């Protein structure tokens, strides 16, 4: 029988012919601009000579950095009314409880034309007025102290009133009233005991209250 022909012939490994491979097209890059390169190098050298550039800080906001003035009142009191604010408020205001701190900017003059507090103030023990308030001041057993630079345009009904400033309104002090040498009172005074130092000015009527006797 004749010999069977091989169906598959394995050729030995050979390297591809380089001449037969396609050569990819080479994109020609534009030559760098010598002027741009020189300017960039000079800018880098200038930066090295000058050193690190300081970081630009934001300008300070000095709106909150001021010397706060003395609060209009000193002491624990209950207040209901208007409170114009020219300053900073910090704290918490809520239905269950509030704790707030108010820092007012200094006054432009001795006294502002608008009251710092305008409403009803009630207290228990002692209250000192350092500024300008208006409305009504009330306390069953408390002592009200009005400083020499203070002004009170209000009806006063307290136990003891020690006045060194200006009061425009009627004063009722169930125990006593003390007027300092710079006190100015434009209104009526009703009290059991009154002491007035030389220099005080009182324009109005004074009515002495009867001492309450306790019946056994």
Encode pLDDT of 40-68 as tens digits.
Answer: 556 666 666 665 655 555 555 555 677 88
Q: Which residue has the higher pLDDT, 187 or 111?
A: 187
Mean pLDDT for all residues in the chain = 80
pLDDT (0 to 100) of residue 10: 53
pLDDT (0 to 100) of residue 211: 79
CA distances from 169 to 139, 149, 151, 155, 190 (A): 16, 17, 11, 5, 12
Q: Which residue has the higher pLDDT, 9 or 138?
A: 138
Q: What is the pTM for the complete model shown?
A: 0.66
Q: Which residue has the higher pLDDT, 195 or 107?
A: 195
Q: How many Cα atoms within 13 Å fall on the side-chain side of residue 162?
A: 10
Interatomic CA distance for residues 117 and 130, integer angstroms: 11
Of the ranges 18-32, 41-55, 56-70, 146-160, which is most confident?
146-160
99-122 average pLDDT score: 81
- For the CA atoms of 66, 69, 72, 75, what is the dihedral angle to 10 degrees? 100
Report which secondary-structure segment, H or E, holds 168.
strand 166-168
For residue 105, pLDDT over 70 is answered with yes
Interatomic CA distance for residues 112 and 114, integer angstroms: 5
pLDDT (0 to 100) of residue 100: 80
Interatomic CA distance for residues 69 and 53, integer angstroms: 42
pLDDT (0 to 100) of residue 138: 97
**Contact present, 148 and 180 (Cβ < 8 Å):** yes
pLDDT (0 to 100) of residue 20: 54
């Amino acid at each position: 029988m004749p010999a069977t022909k091989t169906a598959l012939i394995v050729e030995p490994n050979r390297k591809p012919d380089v001449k037969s491979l396609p050569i990819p097209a080479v994109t020609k890059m534009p030559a760098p601009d010598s002027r741009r390169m020189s300017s960039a190098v000079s800018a880098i050298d200038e930066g090295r000579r000058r050193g690190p550039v300081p970081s630009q800080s934001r300008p300070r906001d000095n709106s909150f950095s001021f010397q706060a003035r003395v609060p209009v009142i000193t002491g624990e009191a209950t207040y209901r009314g208007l409170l114009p604010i020219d300053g900073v408020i910090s704290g918490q205001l809520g239905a269950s409880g509030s704790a707030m701190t108010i820092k007012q900017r200094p006054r432009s003059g001795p006294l502002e034309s608008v009251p710092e507090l305008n409403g009803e103030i009630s207290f228990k023990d002692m209250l000192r007025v350092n500024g300008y308030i208006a409305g009504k001041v009330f306390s069953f057993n408390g002592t009200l102290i009005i400083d020499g630079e203070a002004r009170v345009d209000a009806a006063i009904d307290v136990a003891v009133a020690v006045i060194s400033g200006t009061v425009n309104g009627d004063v009722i002090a169930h125990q006593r009233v003390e007027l300092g040498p710079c006190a100015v009172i434009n209104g009526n005074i009703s009290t059991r005991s009154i002491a007035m130092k030389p220099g005080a000015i009182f324009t109005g009527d004074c009515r002495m209250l009867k001492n309450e006797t306790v019946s056994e």
